[in-house]
Amino acid sequence: MLEAASAPAARSYEQIQQSLQILLEEYRHSDSSCAHELAGKLRTIAQQLEGQREAPSSQGAPPCTEAALDSHNALASLERSWASSPPENAATDSRHAVRTKKKDRGDRAFAMNAYQKRYVALEIFYLGAAYHGFASQADTELTAENQLYEALRRTKLIPEEAGWQELGYSRCGRTDKGVSALSQVVALNVRSLARHGQAPLQPRDEMDYAVTLNRALPDDVRVLGWAPLPDQAFSARFSARGREYKYYIVQHGELDIEAMQEAATHFVGDHDFRNFCKVDAQHVSNFRRTVLDFRITPALQCEQLASCRVYALHVRGTAFLWHQVRCMAAVLLMVGRGLEQPSVVQRMLDIETTRQKPQYNMAAEEPLLFYRCAFDGLEWQRSLYSHVATKSLLQGFLDAHLCSASHLVAAMERLEEHASAGLSGTAAKKSTKHVPLLKRATEPALEERLLRFRPAAGMHGGQSSAACEPVRASPVAVLSTPMHDV
């Protein structure tokens, strides 16, 4: 039966689909000792399915994306089985033999030096709820970057004990705890499929780094694509020509979106944003940044709740300061609630009249999304195989959130029923008096902060030279200074 499933003659969609079904049935009746062989055969079928997408049959064969996804999911199941113990009904001596084989295979060192290196950019999506930001930190392993590093190690794409510096590593930006990213970009040297002595591979013939890494990454961190880089001069941070963020807000009718848009327009241009960021005087002395565009656009309409609409504060700029987007969002929300006038943004940007930052809380981190970072000349490699698998995974996340939202909508409807039936007593109304921003207590002036670090060398327009790129004495050593907002 295995030979029938691996027959290369399966050229039509129906034949390939039948081969896949035979192979999956064989897997269900086999123990894990066959999983490695079955996984190889399944890869062949998955490649044939992708080929069918390019050349559909004249009989109007159905799309192959669903079948390709089936093969991807089955392959992941096969590989998990290969890494685990055999079924409970397997013989004791067979179980022992499999585990011994695994141990022997693990003791054999991987010949990393036999392969060429390739300098690549990786585009990464991650949901930030479970992580303490993107960048690695000394006091926690719960960062998206740490998950990436561990996946690179497990897939043998980097040496076991390699530090960021020897990998030529750079990242486009940092994000704080709870913040998500749709298009984070990192650059580093990784193992190629080409061995030493062979000609370098064309991108189309190279390893699919997205597929390889996604099998080792948690579900809330995905590699969306990779791009070959021409030389080591590329930096994910300094080669970026722009960055975009979206901060999502919910409109229940109480926000004046037009006033918020008027205020947001004042941010556009080259300004000193010291009153709209968390001042890091130890590493930053120049607070001028350029905002290219700032608009407020509809993002999502909730049909069940007619008064509920989600908007995105969409800001695009060349670079951002630490917490800049969240501080701008906080002030815009004050304008939207009628607590401040749109002109307050102009006055706070004028550091001659507003030399010290008023004390105010920045907006929450969860609604913030690192939306895009832009580069010139990168040719992103994205496969159908990876695309379908990632889309299916994210659809599962979305479905789960929609079900949770439905529970909350049902609860809100029930509360409305209670209100319609009549409620006793009076509502406790908590009112807090808003103190205008320009009349609040202020933080220390920038000049006062700079005096504390005057002896420090290396100050420049952005950060100290030590903060430009991550430097690791060991794989877990980290850089604690911020690069960008959020």
Q: Give the pLDDT confidence of 21-75 residue by residue, as tens digits.
A: 666 655 555 444 455 556 566 666 666 665 555 554 444 444 555 555 655 565 5
How does pLDDT run across 366-376, given as a tens digit for each residue?
999 999 999 99
The two three-digit tokens of residue 384, written as one number:
């159908």
Amino acid at 169: Y
The answer to whether residue 282 is domain-embedded is yes
Q: What is the DSSP letter of 334?
A: H
| Mean predicted confidence (pLDDT) in 400-421 | 91
Residue 63 shares a structural domain with residue 147:
no
In the predicted model, what is the mean pLDDT of residues 383-407?
94
Residues 6 or more apart from 439 whose CB is under 8 A from it?
A: none
Residue 162 lies in a domain: yes
Structure tokens at 474: 């060991």
Contact 321, 260 (CB under 8 A): no
**Tally of domains in the chain:** 3
User: Residue 465: its pLDDT value, please?
Assistant: 32
| 191 and 129 fall within a common domain | yes
In a domain, 100, yes or no: no
Does the pLDDT value for residue 478 go beyond 50? no
Residue 6, pLDDT above cutoff 70: no
Instruction: Answer yes or no: is 381 within a domain.
Output: no
| Residue 320 to residue 322: CA distance in whole angstroms | 7
**Is 139 in the active site?**
no
* Shared-domain flag, residues 208 and 288: no
Residues 279 and 210 in one domain: no
Higher pLDDT, residue 15 or 469: 15
In this structure, what CATH number is given to the domain that contains residue 140?
A: 3.30.70.580
Catalytic residue among 176, 220, 280, 485: 176
The answer to whether residue 395 sits within a structural domain is no
18, 73: one domain: yes
| pLDDT band, residue 159 (cuts 50/70/90) | very high
Q: Which amino acid is at 191?
A: R
Chain center to CA of 369: 9
Q: Looking at the structure, do residues 335 and 450 belong to the same domain, yes or no?
A: yes
Average pLDDT for 172-180: 93
Residue 108 lies in a domain: no
Digit-coded pLDDT (tens) for 259-313: 999 999 999 999 999 999 998 877 788 899 999 999 999 998 877 666 789 999 9
How many other CB atoms are there within 10 angstroms of residue 107's CB atom? 7
Length of the chain: 486
- Same structural domain for residues 359 and 283? yes
Residue 375 lies in a domain: no
274 & 351 share domain:
yes
* Residue 276 domain boundaries: 246-306+318-365+440-455
- Cα dihedral 113/115/117/118 (nearest 10): -160
- What is the rounded distance in angstroms from the CA atom of residue 111 to the CA atom of residue 366? 43
Do 223 and 330 lie in a common domain? no
Listed residue (183, 297, 304, 310) closest to 236, CA to CA: 183
Which of the listed residues 52, 87, 122 is the one where a domain comes to its end?
Answer: 87
Task: Kindly report the CATH number assigned to the domain that includes residue 353.
Answer: 3.30.70.660
Torsional class of 73: left (φ above 0), alpha (ψ -120 to 50), beta (otherwise): alpha
Q: What's the pTM?
A: 0.75
* Residues 143 and 216 grouped into a single domain: yes
Residue 478 lies in a domain: no
Q: Same domain for 72 and 149?
A: no
Q: Do 20 and 82 share a domain, yes or no?
A: yes
Query: 12-21, 123-132, 452-461: lowest mean pLDDT where?
Result: 452-461
